[in-house]
């Protein structure tokens, strides 16, 4: 969350928040789970100031949550930012926050987006359990994002449009 550290808070939650608690950071990570991996795509989807995006990405790379590397398609000056194993540990936190947000500020038309178990098509609850088969989905790659009934999604950027169809997590978009 925030600019300064939580000094004097000898607590794992505080440590975690120092890494991912600043404004924008968790939305950025959400998109990383969705498969966004390029600087310009993050920008397009989040409407985040460039300076802030650069700072957040650098901080995430620095703390080992994301990895920055040259784009695989060889193209010139491109990079990609992908979640490290450490970053993927945030999976249950992202899911839980999403379910909370949905309950706290529900859409009249239903959920906007949700996560579905690839194996059986069941929805994931706040504990990442598949509501159909009961399994806890520990690996985000075993799930997909699907638009829900309330996904009016006014955004028209490349990424938001791509996400109007189901998409497997951690798979780069386009």
> Contact residues for a second copy (CB under 8 A)?
1-3, 6, 8-27, 30, 46-47, 63-65, 86, 89-90, 92-105, 111-113, 126-129, 136, 138, 151-155
Strands (E), 91-164: 113-117, 143-147
Counting contacts by CB under 7 A, is residue 50 touching DNA?
A: yes
> Are the CB atoms for 25 and 35 separated by under 8 Å?
no
Look up tokens 């695989």; give the residue: 72
Residue 51 Cα distances to 21, 38, 63, 174, angstroms: 18, 15, 18, 25
Interface pick for DNA out of 9, 11, 40, 69 (rule CB under 7 A): 40
Q: How far is 16 from 81, CA to CA, in rounded Å?
A: 20
Picked from DNA, a second copy, none, the partner binding residue 50 (CB below 5 to 8 A depending on kind) is: DNA
Q: How far is 121 from 83, CA to CA, in rounded Å?
A: 25
Picked from a second copy, DNA, none, the partner binding residue 139 (CB below 5 to 8 A depending on kind) is: none
Q: Which is nearer to a second copy, 71 or 120 (CB)?
A: 120
Closest approach, Cβ 161 to a second copy, in A, equals 13
Whether the CA torsion 48, 50, 51, 57 is positive or negative: it is: positive
Q: Which is nearer to DNA, 125 or 157 (CB)?
A: 157
Interface pick for DNA out of 17, 20, 22, 159 (rule CB under 7 A): 22
Q: How far is 158 from 173, CA to CA, in rounded Å?
A: 9
Interface pick for DNA out of 15, 69, 79, 152 (rule CB under 7 A): 79
Tokens matching residue 5: 């550290």
Interface residues toward DNA, by CB under 7 A: 2-4, 22-24, 38-40, 47-52, 54-55, 57, 68, 71, 75-80
């Amino acid at each position: 969350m925030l600019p300064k550290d939580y000094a004097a808070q000898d607590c794992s939650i505080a440590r975690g928040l120092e890494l991912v608690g600043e404004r924008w950071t968790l939305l950025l990570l959400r998109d990383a789970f969705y498969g966004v991996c390029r600087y310009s795509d993050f920008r397009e989807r989040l409407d985040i100031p460039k300076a802030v995006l650069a700072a957040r990405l650098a901080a995430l790379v620095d703390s080992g949550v994301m990895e920055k590397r040259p784009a695989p398609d060889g193209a010139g000056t491109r990079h990609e930012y992908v979640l490290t194993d450490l970053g993927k540990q945030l999976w249950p936190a992202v899911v839980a926050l999403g379910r909370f947000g949905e309950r706290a500020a529900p859409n009249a038309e239903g959920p906007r987006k949700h996560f579905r178990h690839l194996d059986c098509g069941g929805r994931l609850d706040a504990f990442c359990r598949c509501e159909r088969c009961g399994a806890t989905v520990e690996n985000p790659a075993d799930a997909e994002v699907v638009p829900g009934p309330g996904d009016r999604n006014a955004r028209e950027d490349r990424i938001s449009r791509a996400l109007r169809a189901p998409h497997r997590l951690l798979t780069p978009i386009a």
